[in-house]
Amino acid sequence: MLPAPITIGCKVWLGAAVTVVPGVTIGDGAIVGADAVGTRDVPANAVVAGVPAKLISHDRVQRGAELTAWPLLIGKENTARRPAR
């Protein structure tokens, strides 16, 4: 395996014991579940988990306090007040 940079975007959440192989890019606002092995690029605002890490959700994670990431990881729908559209 050749050395290559790992790029981690802004506001990324990495669970405990995550492994990311060289050359992988993790997009802004992404969530990587605990013990996941990142072998491919992770898009922005995506949730990935597993060995190898697989896409669980995309574009459900929004910025701000109205929506938090933890309900996505435990499978519960967020009941927080959402901004008007």
- Look up the pTM and report it: 0.69
The CATH number linked to 44 is: 2.160.10.10
Q: pLDDT confidence of 2, banded at 50, 70, 90? A: confident
Residue predicted with more confidence, 9 or 74:
9
Q: How many domains does the structure of the chain reveal? A: 1
Percent of the chain with pLDDT over 90: 62
Please indicate, yes or no, if residue 83 is contained in any of the structural domains: no
Domain of residue 12 covers 7-74
- C-beta separation of 10 from 28 below 8 A: yes
Please indicate, yes or no, if residue 45 is contained in any of the structural domains: yes
- C-beta separation of 51 from 37 below 8 A: yes
Please indicate, yes or no, if residue 84 is contained in any of the structural domains: no
Q: Which DSSP category does 42 fall into?
A: B
Q: Cα 74–9–81 angle (5° rounding)?
A: 45
